[in-house]
Amino acid sequence: MATIYAAALVSLLGWRLWRFTIWPLFHPEEPRELPYWIPCTKHFNYTKEPFSVTLLGQTLYIVTDARDAAEIYKDSKSFSRDVLVHQLYSKVGISRAAIKRLFRADPQAPYNLRNAKALDPTDEMMAIYHQHLSPGLALDSFLDRDVIPRLQAALQDCEETTASLRHVCSQAFIKGFVASYYGGIIFDIEPEFVKWYLQWEELSWKLIYGLPGFLSKDMLTAKGKLVDAFLKYFSLPPEQRGHSNFWTDSVERSLRDVDLSNEDVARVFTMQTWGFLGNAHKVAFWLVAHLVKDRSLLNSINMEVAPATRGGRRLDHRYLADECPKLDALFDEVLRLTVTSPLVRGISSTSTIGGKKLQEGKQVLVVYRQLHFDGTVWGRSPQTLQSNRFLDDKALKSNLAYRPWGGGKTLCPGRFFARKAIFAFVACLLGHYEIHVDGAKPFPRADLTKPTPGSAAVADGDDILLHLSAKSEQ
């Protein structure tokens, strides 16, 4: 028996020596492989060179240098999001034939007749986002007509004197955004939409990791409820939906143009809805959490935003966007601290990044957390919120190490909308209520154990209890 163990140990040591010491000596152009079975964050402190890890037999390249990340963003052909969207669509149950059509640019498709260059339906959806959410009249009227009244209504519904901040944010943003895009009828179809959406969001890691069905029943139920709701919604003739939205109508039309079935349309909308709901409620939570824990910060932001709500006028989101530098700086800092999930790209042709060859067919991860907490950019205490950081140094916003909205071709098209909606939410909350919290309670922790796109989720069980009293009308 001892001889077997000794032989196994010798082979293991020999393999490690070959794999991590001898082989890299002869291939300096290849990213060094991390010599651990479980990646260790200490490694990040030693080098900013791209390196690789092997997980379950798959090689994954890791990039932690802001300049290398910028190179990846620049080359959207070699580093493509499509490979991953393709995988996600397939995992979520979209038929193979439909996936093929979603990535094929058909110049004859009716929606392409108005495009200078033929787009596939996936890029067309992104182009529609840009038309709908770029600064201008369309975005302003979407906010004035659809979004802000719903955020205000959600806040006025807080009749209780104590409320969970998590609950307030998720109800306002998820209910508000969903109704803005699909109308209230979606809640007639599925009254528990918000509950199922939150369950899906919490458990979506099971789909990403490909857990088998018997370990994912809860996630599959939540996903099924959302798909069913959209199936019923998109089976209704548009005139019976009682609501219209430019993005929803245009995306549906482009999917119908390439003959997607109702079932596939429902699954595409389930994924897109996750995309536009996934971050705002969490970022709003983190922002308000920092505000209510620091009385002097709360007072100063309160004074800054008050003119936007004063005198019973319609909430002025232009004022909030243009005249509130302290809120703007706090928002940027909260994004820096909380948007820490990595960017993932599929490599479609072998390319050199940071002097290292990244091979076609593999995946590369840009670790935002590493960029956002890099002491050489953010100073001695990058983990601590500094509400004036972005006010004191205006150049930080465009630093290559600051990537809350991603970059390159896939830079978040919802960034202007998200900023304005979150500012409006904060101004309504502060305008409507005096807020107190129990200062002795610990600050909520972020859940960094599961993959969540964008902003970190709040750890299970953590929250802030708000004590609210309505302010008298000014």
Least distance from ligand HEM to the Cβ atom of residue 240, Å: 25
* Position 150 contacts ligand HEM (CB under 6 A): no
Residue found by looking up tokens 């709500």 in the block:
309
* Position 418 contacts ligand HEM (CB under 6 A): yes
**Three-state DSSP class for 138?**
helix
* Position 142 contacts ligand HEM (CB under 6 A): no
Least distance from ligand HEM to the Cβ atom of residue 421, Å: 7
Angle between the N-to-C axes of helices 262-277 and 82-91, in degrees from 0 to 180, rounded to the nearest 10: 120
* Position 372 contacts ligand HEM (CB under 6 A): no
Q: Which of 99, 265, 283, 305 binds ligand HEM (CB under 6 A)?
A: 283
Task: Specify the residue, 173 or 468, whose C-beta has the smaller distance to ligand HEM.
Answer: 173
Whether the Cβ atoms of residue 425 and residue 173 lie closer than 8 Å to each other: yes
Whether the Cβ atoms of residue 365 and residue 50 lie closer than 8 Å to each other: no
Q: Which of 305, 343, 385, 435 binds ligand HEM (CB under 6 A)?
A: 343
Whether the Cβ atoms of residue 78 and residue 118 lie closer than 8 Å to each other: no
Q: Cα–Cα distance between 358 and 360 in angstroms, integer? A: 7
Least distance from ligand HEM to the Cβ atom of residue 180, Å: 10
In the numeric block, which tokens belong to residue 262? 């109702």
In the numeric block, which tokens belong to residue 433? 């209520």
Site for ligand HEM in 69-88 (CB under 6 A): 81
Site for ligand HEM in 44-73 (CB under 6 A): none
Q: Could you tell me how many residues of this chain bind ligand HEM (CB under 6 A)?
A: 23
Number of Cβ within 10 Å of residue 204's Cβ equals 22
Residue nearest to ligand HEM according to CB distances in the complex: 414
Q: Which of 280, 364, 385, 456 binds ligand HEM (CB under 6 A)?
A: 280
Least distance from ligand HEM to the Cβ atom of residue 177, Å: 7
Burial of 152 (0-12, 13-18, 19+ CB in 10 A): buried
Find, among 303, 321, 337, the residue nearest to 418 by Cα: 321
* Position 176 contacts ligand HEM (CB under 6 A): no
Phi, psi of 103 (to 5 degrees): -115, 15
Binding site for ligand HEM (CB under 6 A): 81, 126, 129, 133, 275-276, 279-280, 283, 335, 339, 343, 404-406, 410, 412-414, 417-418, 454-455
